[in-house]
Amino acid sequence: MNSRRDFLQLLTTSAVALPFLPLYGSSEQLAFYDQSYEGPVLRVAIMGLGSYGTRVAEAMQTCKRAKLVGVISGTPAKIKDWQSKYNIPEKNCYNYENYDSVKDNPDIDAIYVITPNGLHHQAVLRIAAAGKHAICEKPMAINAQEGQEMVDACNKANVKLLVGYRMHFEPNTLEIIRMRNEGELGKIMFFQGLSGFKIGDPTQWRLDKELAGGGAMMDIGIYSINGARYMVGEEPIWVTAQETKTDPIKFKEGVDETIQFQLGFPSGAVASCLSTYSMNHLDRFFLNGDKGFAELQPSTGYGPIKGRTHKGELMKPHITHQTVQMDQMAGIISAGEKAVVPVDGAEGVKDLKIIDAIYEVCKTGGKKKLDL
């Protein structure tokens, strides 16, 4: 298994803003994709035509409110292939040197950045300067400072910045959030997040400190960080963490192999999480309250997501995550709709602040206060 993309083989906005994709997800979601749609369409260019870019492009073929219209790549052969496969006009094709000129192209509304983590920051700054909306894969940057600079640049340019948190639109996930919000789980006491797989090719960019910004934490671990926040429903106020490295040749300085971390929340709830590149079969969320529990396993894969609670199995419908994500993001960008769990740049910066703190306490030990 070489990457999270191999490992990881819907309904968010308010019911008023988006009546045809209901608040917490149900069979109406399936009905939406069987109906015709005549509203505005967000025209999207994808930057980075690798495996996940391809997955997003395929998923967008069934979107109602978002359409793939452009590409940005450093590989001319890939651009030609995508032009042919997705009927993309030559005028909407760019490379990494000339895509600033997208500012003069009225046929592209937004650019989805799907490149290595270390390249996100500069790309989003250039996209903002070109006056286009930005969607950026997670983690949105390699540290919180870079992330905040991206948020500031987009605010200054009056464009939206969204982060590819596809799980924020997943129906079983949203059903657990509904149950928690309505008190069905009682007082939340504990969350466990297990995120990991055994990474393969040691030469890939995910094991390159400059391109990845770290190791497992910057790839798969962010799911447990973000999941702890949206499952507990609070922002953590402290963190402790411990790093384990068994293969310093493969996992060089600054590239984490395994990190266990703990988060504390204002209510007294605690989270215990694991991020690793050295163990398979780790994709599980568990939330415990004094009146009930909820579990997702798999919790963040490409689906179907499976879950259960003290009331029984979760049976929400599955639609390709990236299809729903892009339709929902189109509504956020074009119609000002709101997500149940935010997907904006500020949300991404909060995760990066936690990651920064985790890396710090792995070196220093002790407990670090968080101010998100």
Classify residue 25 as left (phi > 0), alpha (psi -120 to 50) or beta.
left
Options 99, 223, 230, 277, the catalytic residue = 223
Which member of 24, 64, 99, 138 is catalytic? 138
Q: How far apart are CA 208 and CA 253, in angstroms?
A: 10
Q: Considering only CA atoms, which of 217, 218, 236 is closest in space to residue 275? A: 217
Structure tokens at 296: 């997702």
Q: Which strands form 42-47's sheet, in the order they lie side by side?
A: 93-94, 66-72, 42-47, 110-113, 133-136, 161-163
Which residues are bridge partners to 133 per DSSP?
110
Beta-carbon contacts of 90 under 8 Å, excluding residues fewer than 6 positions away, are: 83
103: annotated active-site residue: no
Query: Distances in Å between the alpha carbon of 9 and those of 103, 304, 366?
Result: 35, 9, 37
Give the β-pairing of 282-289 and 293-296: antiparallel
Annotated catalytic residue 78: no
Alpha-carbon separation of residue 169 from 13, 29, 107, 161, 177 (angstroms)? 9, 11, 27, 17, 11
Please list the active-site residues: 138, 223
